[in-house]
């Protein structure tokens, strides 16, 4: 058996990012992978501007000043400020010629056109100087960056309207099994279940720059499964759930082995021990377990980082983890890394009910995974553990 880290390293060594790019509007850039270096074509700030609402003047030119005008954002004062004079100025407005300092209005008194300073004001106070944040030609973002809302803010501040990013990955998704029924249809036969895993995976994929090619439910027919996989082979990646465990009917496993080059793994991880990875045509193939929680954990821990790598992300997004105390004890056997569903609140975490990998309600109620190392056993309340809070796109709750 392999550890999770070993498997992820092996997968990462085989994946090459796609080369396709496209140009998108700035409004559509958040969450995409940048495909070009961004350099500043302006300075930030673009001029010397005030950091406060107040008065701009020449320092050390007296405590009482004559008000000669105003400077507001977008409408700077056109004249020159001389000794003993001042200009009313607003935050973000250009500091007028002749002024070298700004005093906030709270430290002044006004009597008509006369402004009195209530404390000494040194030169260069409360001014944001041109280019102090960014210089002209400075590289601010590198290719491979996953663009955040803050990055979009920066790009807009630099005047960028269109951005070159990697094209969305095409991800084929399919379920196989005669027992599966699409949500919304009636369960008419004993043993039928709703195809919940495919809905889960489609929801999880919404947090990545992908286009999903949903092939639906494929019946347990070798020819139908092969035809679906051949159609999926034109994608960048294929994700299936079920058919990877010992004892499963071999329709899917046989078709995957026939059409591609894949390997079945046993991971020292619970849930999600069985996993299949390889290639079908030019598509990377990820075979997840059929149990819903196993599929969720396998996607979160293995498939998501692999898809980001395919999309060209560099560096890969670092997972958000927290170290917190247990509010209640947890049960665990030594030997496998265990991801237990938990509820994180008020600075501590407690396990969310039973930890069987079929419990979809427990997963929906959880808001994190408790990451318990392979060499650890039962943990008492108060023990410190690592937790993986769920992303907003798949957070549960009480």
DSSP sequence for 234-287:
TSSEEEEESS-STTS-SHHHHHHHHHEEEEEEEBSEES--EEEEEEETTEEEEE
Q: What is the DSSP string of 68-115?
A: EEEEBTTB---SB--TTEEEEE-TTPBPPBT--EEEEGGGEEEETTEE
- Asked whether residue 316 is assigned to any structural domain, the reply reads no
pLDDT for res 242: 83
The model's pTM = 0.90
Q: Give the domain-ending residue among 118, 147, 166.
A: 166
- Please check whether residues 67 and 153 belong to one and the same domain: no
In this structure, are 305 and 196 located in the same domain?
yes
Asked if residue 330 and residue 246 are part of one domain, the reply reads no
Same domain flag for 28 and 146: yes
Would you say residue 315 lies in a domain?
no
The reply to whether 109 and 75 lie within a common domain is yes
89 located within any domain: yes
Q: Are 296 and 340 in contact (CB under 8 A)?
A: no
Phi, psi of 32 (to 5 degrees): -95, 165
Provide the CATH number for the domain around residue 240.
3.40.980.10
In this structure, the answer to whether residues 226 and 278 fall within a common structural domain is yes
Same domain, 34 and 148: yes
Q: CA–CA separation, 163 vs 310, rounded Å?
A: 19
> How many angstroms separate the CA atoms of 357 and 245, rounded?
13
CATH number of domain containing 385: 2.40.340.10
Domain match, 152 and 176 both: no
Give the range of the structural domain holding residue 363, as residue numbers without chain letter.
322-394
CATH number at 27 reads: 3.90.105.10
Q: What is the mean pLDDT of each run of 10 residues along the chain (398 residues)?
A: 96 97 98 98 97 98 96 97 98 98 98 97 98 98 98 98 98 92 94 94 97 94 93 97 68 88 94 95 94 95 98 94 97 96 96 84 94 97 97 46
| Residue linked to tokens 């069987």 | 356
The number of helix segments (H) and strand segments (E) in the chain equals 8, 26
Asked if residue 121 is part of any domain, the answer here is: yes
Last residue of one domain, picked from the residues 258, 284, 310: 310
SS3 category, 58: coil
User: Do the Cβ atoms of 193 and 153 come closer than 8 Å?
Assistant: no
CATH code for the domain of 71? 2.170.190.11
What is the structure's pLDDT at 27? 98
Same domain, 148 and 27: yes
pLDDT computed for residue 394 by the predictor: 42
- φ, ψ at 372 (rounded to 5°): -110, 120
Total domains in the chain come to 4
């Amino acid at each position: 058996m392999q550890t999770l880290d070993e498997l992820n390293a092996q997968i990462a060594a085989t994946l090459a990012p796609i080369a396709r790019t496209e140009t998108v509007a700035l409004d559509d850039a958040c969450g995409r992978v940048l495909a070009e270096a961004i350099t500043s074509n302006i300075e930030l700030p673009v001029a010397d501007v005030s950091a406060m609402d107040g008065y701009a003047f020449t320092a050390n030119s007296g405590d009482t000043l004559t008000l000669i005008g105003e400077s507001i954002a977008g409408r700077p004062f056109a004249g020159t400020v001389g000794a003993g004079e001042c200009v009313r100025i607003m935050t973000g407005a250009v500091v007028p010629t002749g002024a070298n300092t700004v005093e906030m209005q709270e430290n002044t008194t006004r009597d008509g056109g006369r402004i009195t300073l209530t404390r000494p004001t040194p030169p260069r106070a409360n001014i944001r100087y041109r280019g102090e944040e960014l210089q002209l030609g400075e590289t601010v973002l590198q290719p491979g960056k996953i663009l955040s809302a803050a990055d979009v803010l920066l790009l807009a501040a630099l005047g960028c309207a269109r951005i070159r990013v990697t094209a969305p990955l095409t991800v084929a998704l399919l379920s196989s099994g005669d027992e599966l029924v699409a949500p919304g249809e009636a369960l008419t036969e004993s043993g039928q279940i709703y195809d919940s895993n495919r809905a889960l995976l489609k929801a999880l994929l919404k947090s990545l720059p992908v286009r999903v090619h949903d092939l639906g439910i494929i019946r347990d027919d070798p020819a139908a499964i092969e035809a679906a996989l051949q159609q999926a082979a034109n994608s960048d990646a294929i994700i299936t759930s079920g058919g990877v465990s010992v004892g499963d009917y071999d329709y899917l496993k046989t078709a995957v082995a026939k059409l591609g080059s894949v390997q079945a793994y046993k991971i020292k991880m619970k849930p999600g021990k069985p996993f299949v990875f390889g290639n079908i045509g030019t598509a990377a193939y990820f075979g997840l377990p059929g149990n819903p929680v196993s599929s969720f954990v396998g996607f979160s821990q293995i498939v998501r980082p692999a898809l980001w790598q395919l999309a060209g992300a560099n560096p890969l997004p670092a997972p958000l983890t927290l170290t917190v105390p247990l509010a209640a004890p947890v049960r665990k056997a030594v030997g496998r890394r265990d991801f237990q569903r938990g509820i994180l609140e008020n600075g501590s975490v407690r396990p969310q009910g039973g930890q069987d990998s079929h419990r979809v309600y427990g997963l929906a109620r959880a808001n994190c995974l408790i990451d318990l190392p392979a060499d650890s056993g039962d943990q008492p309340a108060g023990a410190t553990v690592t937790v993986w809070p769920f992303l907003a796109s798949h957070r549960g709750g009480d």
